[in-house]
Amino acid sequence: MGVVEKIKEIEAEMARTQKNKATEYHIGLLRAKLAKLRMQLLEPDKKGGKPGEGFDVMKSGSARVVLIGFPSVGKSTLLSTITETESATASYEYTTLTAIPGVLEYEGARIQLLDLPGIIEGASQGRGRGRQVVSVAKTADLVLMMLDATKSAQQRPLLEKELEDVGIRLNQTKPDVSLKKKSGGGIVVTKAMGLTLTKIDEKMIRSILQGYKIHNCDVMIREDISVDQFIDVLLGNRKYVPCLYVYNKIDGISMEEMDRLANEPRSVVISCNLNLNLDYLIERIWEELRLLRIYTKKRGEHPDLTDPIVVRHGATIEHVCHGVWKIEQLMSPSSSAPAHKSRPMARYIMLGVTVLVAVMAIMISRNAWHMRHVRSLLDVFDDPLEALQLTSIKYDSLIPKDLRQSLEDMLTKTSKWSETLDFQVGWELARQGAKPEHPVVLIPGIVSTGLESWTTTEEESSYFRRRLWGSTSMLRSALFDKEKWVKHLMLDPETGLDPEGIRVRAAQGLDAASYFAAGYWVWSKIIENLAAVGYDINQIHLAAYDWRLSMYNLEERDHFFSRIMSQVELNMRISGKKTVLISHSMGGTVAMYFLKWVEHHYGAAWIDRHVEALVSISGTLLGVPKAMPALLTGEMRDTVQVPAMLANLLERFFSSRERAQLFRSWAGSASMLIKGGEVIWGNKDGAPDDMDNATTTHGVLMEYTPRNDSATSLKLDAEGVHAWLREHAPPAFEHMLTTNYSYGFERSESQIRKNNKDHTKWANPLEVALPNAPHMKLYCLYGWNQPTERSYWMHELVPEEEQPHLDPEHPLLTRSHNNGTNPLSWSLSRIDASVTRKDEYPAVQQGVRLGEGDGTVSLLSLGAMCVEGWKHKRYNPAGIPVITREMFHDPAAFDLRGGGLSGDHIDILGSHELNDAVHHPDKAGTGDAVRIQHIVRAYEALRSSEARQAYDQQRQQQDARRMRPTRIADTIDLDAFEANDATPTHFTYPCRCGQLYILTLAQVAQGQHEIACTGCSETVRVVWDD
């Protein structure tokens, strides 16, 4: 029995089968078999036949549009009318027998149009030239379905079915489902939080997979899908194409029928014979293709506005480079050269030179460095020989001298780090009668928790249970085996989970975050002082988690929030007391997400019964400004404000591009992006934390250095930075942001109530309310008086030809970072360390402008919600008491960790005041007398409807001015303008595009100096003497 007969037999069986609950699995399996057979039908002829003559048309131009329809509907006439192509036209069928290409030139773009032969019923089964037509249609960027307006009711459903049967999905998006085959473990189906599948269930999914002989697979479903959509994902060869329905011959139908067709979605009515509505059709083609025009400008010359580079929406810098340098011509083999010589030799030469220079630099740095210089480094490690295994390697020959010296300077004479404050606060509290009261759960911040490998493959087995983060073995792995280290730590950018074949999990127990590395404490001081008053492992639980994961995936993969909930319930059963949650840094955001997760799934009453208080230490509640450049460029103050030697070393060992790729794969780090937009963080007109004598504003979070004297700098506020980051980040990263987080500012109580059910909002306290648990308390403890990164000067990267060449096989990753996952695009900017402006206030030091905070987190993020935001009912409907304690940073002169009065972001965990506050957080008052009253200005718009109205009006005006950053192309004297005879109040000056700059007397009177061309919108500055 042939394939066609099998298809007909299955279709007949499906038609005979009654559709109900009992038969849905059988019908689903029949659909899967039918899809497989249809694909077999369209496979090339295995007998070695030649491809269809006349259909092998090279794709060219900015985009490809194909004309599909039944014979004699006007496809050839349309092609001949809107292009200069001669296509045979006649009133009888099958005039066109091959693919006829034409070029539509519009808005600077060259759009390729293909007139395909008419499709007949049964084309999906190979009848006529259906196989060739389908193969060409799958290469289209847009389908124009040509329909005879007099027969549209019959033609459209038939054509849609033919295209549907061959795997072309019109006006649909790819289902948000990911499949990952694996070698074992069976079929695991995971659904997005809150998702209910109404059209398919897990049993059907497993049956379909087994029908395709797939028995080991991870399935991640993020939207409600049907059986057919799941089969589409499984086959993986579906083409999702936008489609316009073009109804021709409207001169043969009534006005009422034409009006009905014209108002259907994605439909255009035309008449090729009468040339009716063709201009509108061309405009719709342009809109559907979503093409972008990019104009180039050579240094020292005016922009070229005559020949734009046209790219599709979502194109990368590589696509733009192809348009500028025609790289695709270099990458394709010539007719006389063998294929293996097709790649540009310059890439290999540059790569070889780069490797050679790196090897020579390391070899030159070798010297007779005796082990006595290393002993001061080894003495601070708990078990140095086992941790670093220095007895089996020539340490002095592997690490360059300058790096060795830096490590020695940093770690020598630091044994007192571990002696700061040991038990002192706890002993004093014990003498005063303090005893254990409530059990505590500690929630660490980002990078605090150790991570270890659970990979057991033969190749990676040596890493099993080894600490990859948060230990001295991390240092050894990063220095001597960077390839494997990055391979383990980088997450899959598509799923946000471990790459295939890799398993990394958070270390567990109190030791998971007590020390980051031997000698550098994190949580150990709080644990020690809790123990000094009588706490032990029965009352202290450290909730270690994989901080690389998004909040959602923490529960999906590791059941993290369920584990905390179980621990809190266990505490209640054992002690009869509520639990106190103590969080630090990003742990504050995790704790807030946990409370919303519990409230959503189990109700706020559970929180009221089980949680005594949340103590947020140095909480990143509204994000951290340094997260923006870190995710965009891989840089921050710590990497640019170092000696040039160390900066070069860091770039050599772990470049900013590599760091950005790694950071972006960590979805957890995106929770640190700033929240609240310009209401919280300001704009170019000012920011809430600007001081009275400020000469510049923190509201401009990133300002790009102008490329030349005539250009203006690009200034990005909080909302602009978010848009900039999304625009310059890979699609997978942008998708991760959209599906996991929200960074807005919400005032409507009704909308906040809705947001309480949306997990993407739970990490943003400005879009959800605190849980309705009136008996819970909230404490905010943080330091201040420590200069903190607040805003930045940036610069764009040098041109591609001046950048180091990368791995030709994986151009987005260096050879040491090919970990088998989809690579993340490198960043396009850098912090401009050349900018230092000490005459400004606040001053700029090596591209970084500092503000108030704890050295890591800005004061706005630390205290805005505590001091003001949670005083409002919409954010705190239960009236939970919110108590704030600020701790002045007054470090001890001879203690590298700041001593007992440190307010530093991490070192505060060892300060006297903080450890005392953990036991008595409300001891110092209610938080009314705090030192950040100037933050309240950020919330003036919250209190008064009049203030809100004025603010909205001002913001709309600012948004209108910032829609497109103004770049001044030239400066023109007013005398060069000519009076307009027709309109005496207007003066004109010719633009290069052929249109005019028009300046009015009213603009001169108002002092307006910047005007745009009426044609190309290029802006010039007009100068005159008043």
Instruction: Say how far apart CA 512 and CA 449 lie, in whole Å.
Output: 5
Residue 309 lies in a domain: no
Of 107-111, 397-401, 721-725, the range with the lowest mean pLDDT is: 397-401
Q: Residue 379 CB: number of other CB atoms within 10 A?
A: 14
Q: Which residue has the tokens 């194909």?
A: 66
- The residues, any chain, with a CB within 8 Å of residue 468's CB and separated by 6 or more, are 451, 452, 453, 474, 477, 485, 488, 489, 504
Task: Examine the domain organization and report whether 889 and 810 are in the same domain.
Answer: no
Task: Answer with the one of 356, 389, 413 that is the final residue of a domain.
Answer: 413
Instruction: Say how far apart CA 847 and CA 106 lie, in whole Å.
Output: 43
Structural tokens at position 689: 């934390």
Q: Residue 716 CB: number of other CB atoms within 10 A?
A: 24
Residue 684 lies in a domain: yes
Measure Cα distances from 1014 to 79, 786, 980 in Å. 32, 51, 15
Q: Are strands 63-69 and 142-148 parallel, antiparallel or unpaired?
A: parallel
pLDDT at 959 over 80: no
Structural tokens at position 327: 């790289």
Report whether 770 contacts 878 (CB < 8 A): yes
Report whether 103 contacts 113 (CB < 8 A): yes
Instruction: Say how far apart CA 396 and CA 23 lie, in whole Å.
Output: 72
Residue type at position 948: R
Average pLDDT of the residues in 413-427: 54
Instruction: Say how far apart CA 808 and CA 800 lie, in whole Å.
Output: 14
The size of the chain, in residues, is 1026
573 pLDDT tier (thresholds 50, 70, 90): very high
Residue 655 lies in a domain: yes
Winning range, highest mean pLDDT, from 163-172, 250-259, 917-926: 163-172
Of 236-245, 750-759, 888-897, the range with the lowest mean pLDDT is: 888-897
Report whether 774 contacts 613 (CB < 8 A): no
pLDDT at 141 over 70: yes
Task: Examine the domain organization and report whether 112 and 188 are in the same domain.
Answer: no
CA 811 and chain centroid, separation: 20
Q: What CA dihedral angle connects 599, 601, 606 and 610, to 10 degrees?
A: -90
Instruction: Say how far apart CA 975 and CA 555 lie, in whole Å.
Output: 69
Measure Cα distances from 784 to 496, 589, 885, 984 in Å. 34, 20, 11, 62
Measure Cα distances from 185 to 213, 218, 491, 495 in Å. 15, 9, 20, 18
List, in sequence order, every beta strand (DSSP E) within 538-577: 540-542
Structural tokens at position 666: 């960590």
Q: Residue 159 CB: number of other CB atoms within 10 A?
A: 24
Instruction: Say how far apart CA 379 and CA 413 lie, in whole Å.
Output: 9
Residue type at position 317: I
Of 56-60, 367-371, 526-530, 636-640, the range with the lowest mean pLDDT is: 367-371
Structural tokens at position 660: 């950005």
pLDDT at 97 over 80: no
Structural tokens at position 115: 């007139």
pLDDT at 880 over 90: yes
SS3 322: helix
Average pLDDT of the residues in 55-83: 80
Task: Examine the domain organization and report whether 518 and 557 are in the same domain.
Answer: yes
Report whether 238 contacts 167 (CB < 8 A): yes
Domain membership of residue 392 as a residue range:
372-413
Structural tokens at position 242: 């936008």
Instruction: Say how far apart CA 460 and CA 70 lie, in whole Å.
Output: 58
Task: Examine the domain organization and report whether 539 and 608 are in the same domain.
Answer: yes
- Maximum CA extent, the chain: 104
Residue 719 lies in a domain: yes
Task: Walk across the sheet containing 187-191 and list its strands.
Answer: 177-181, 217-221, 187-191
Helix axes 24-41, 3-16, angle to 10 degrees: 160
Look at residue 397 in the predicted model and tell me its pLDDT.
43
pLDDT at 327 over 70: no
Look at residue 579 in the predicted model and tell me its pLDDT.
94
pLDDT at 339 over 50: no
588 pLDDT tier (thresholds 50, 70, 90): very high
Task: Examine the domain organization and report whether 266 and 193 are in the same domain.
Answer: no
SS3 content of the chain, % helix, strand, coil (to 5): 40, 20, 40
Task: Answer with the one of 851, 880, 900 that is the final residue of a domain.
Answer: 851
What pLDDT, in 10s, does the model give residues 688-716?
Answer: 888 877 888 899 999 988 877 666 778 89
Residue 555 lies in a domain: yes
Report whether 884 contacts 867 (CB < 8 A): yes
SS3 834: coil
650 pLDDT tier (thresholds 50, 70, 90): low
- The residues, any chain, with a CB within 8 Å of residue 101's CB and separated by 6 or more, are 57, 85, 112, 113, 114, 115
Look at residue 963 in the predicted model and tell me its pLDDT.
45
How many domains does one find in the chain?
Answer: 6
Structural tokens at position 539: 């009352």
If one compares 294 and 941, the residue with the highest pLDDT of the two is 294
Report whether 506 contacts 512 (CB < 8 A): yes
Look at residue 456 in the predicted model and tell me its pLDDT.
85
Residue 434 lies in a domain: yes
Average pLDDT of the residues in 85-93: 51
Report whether 676 contacts 718 (CB < 8 A): yes
In the chain, % of residues over pLDDT 70: 67
CA 1022 and chain centroid, separation: 41
Residue 499 lies in a domain: no
Q: Which residue has the tokens 């402006």?
A: 837
Structural tokens at position 142: 């847009």
What pLDDT, in 10s, does the model give residues 601-631?
Answer: 999 999 999 999 999 999 999 999 998 888 8
If one compares 1011 and 41, the residue with the highest pLDDT of the two is 1011
**DSSP 8-class letter at 617:** E
Write the DSSP string, 493-548.
Answer: TTTSSPPTT--EEE--STHHHHEEETTEESSHHHHHHHHHTT--TTTEEE----TT
Structural tokens at position 979: 């009076």
Measure Cα distances from 883 to 656, 779, 928, 933 in Å. 40, 5, 8, 15
Provide the whole-model pTM. 0.53
Task: Examine the domain organization and report whether 811 and 689 are in the same domain.
Answer: yes
Look at residue 551 in the predicted model and tell me its pLDDT.
94
CA 286 and chain centroid, separation: 28
Mean pLDDT of the chain: 75
Of 732-736, 958-962, 963-967, the range with the lowest mean pLDDT is: 958-962
- The residues, any chain, with a CB within 8 Å of residue 683's CB and separated by 6 or more, are 699, 700, 717, 718, 955, 958
Task: Examine the domain organization and report whether 717 and 733 are in the same domain.
Answer: yes
List, in sequence order, every beta strand (DSSP E) within 760-838: 777-784, 788-796, 829-831
Pick from 314, 293, 281: nearest CA to 1016: 293
Report the number of secondary-structure helices (H) and strands (E) in the chain. Answer: 38, 36
Measure Cα distances from 655 to 499, 737, 826 in Å. 22, 24, 11
Residue 366 lies in a domain: no
Q: Which residue has the tokens 């606060």?
A: 425
Average pLDDT of the residues in 940-946: 44
Measure Cα distances from 812 to 147, 496, 665, 815, 823 in Å. 44, 19, 14, 10, 6
Task: Examine the domain organization and report whether 778 and 710 are in the same domain.
Answer: no
If one compares 119 and 56, the residue with the highest pLDDT of the two is 119
Task: Examine the domain organization and report whether 732 and 607 are in the same domain.
Answer: no
**DSSP 8-class letter at 191:** E
Backbone phi, psi, residue 942, to 5°:
-80, -25
Task: Answer with the one of 291, 324, 356 that is the final residue of a domain.
Answer: 291
Q: What is the CATH number of the domain that holds 1015?
A: 3.10.660.10
Task: Examine the domain organization and report whether 615 and 715 are in the same domain.
Answer: no
What pLDDT, in 10s, does the model give residues 432-484?
Answer: 777 888 999 999 988 788 888 898 887 777 778 888 887 767 777 777 777 88
Cα atoms in the 13 Å half-sphere on the side-chain side of 343: 12
SS3 85: coil
End-to-end CA, the chain? 92
Look at residue 740 in the predicted model and tell me its pLDDT.
93
Report whether 450 contacts 513 (CB < 8 A): yes
CB burial of residue 175 (10 Å; 0-12, 13-18, 19+): buried
What pLDDT, in 10s, does the model give residues 252-296?
Answer: 787 778 888 888 999 999 888 777 888 889 889 988 888 887 777
Report whether 752 contacts 767 (CB < 8 A): yes
pLDDT at 957 over 70: no
Q: What is the CATH number of the domain that holds 143?
A: 3.40.50.300
Task: Examine the domain organization and report whether 846 and 986 are in the same domain.
Answer: no
Of 214-218, 458-462, 615-619, 646-650, the range with the lowest mean pLDDT is: 646-650
Of 15-24, 141-150, 225-234, the range with the lowest mean pLDDT is: 15-24
Structural tokens at position 286: 């342009």
Task: Examine the domain organization and report whether 37 and 78 are in the same domain.
Answer: no
Measure Cα distances from 277 to 280, 685, 851 in Å. 5, 47, 59
Of 114-123, 194-203, 779-788, the range with the lowest mean pLDDT is: 114-123
Instruction: Say how far apart CA 808 and CA 522 lie, in whole Å.
Output: 42
Instruction: Say how far apart CA 908 and CA 584 lie, in whole Å.
Output: 10
Cα atoms in the 13 Å half-sphere on the side-chain side of 230: 27
pLDDT at 737 over 80: yes
Average pLDDT of the residues in 911-919: 68
If one compares 887 and 894, the residue with the highest pLDDT of the two is 887
Average pLDDT of the residues in 112-121: 75
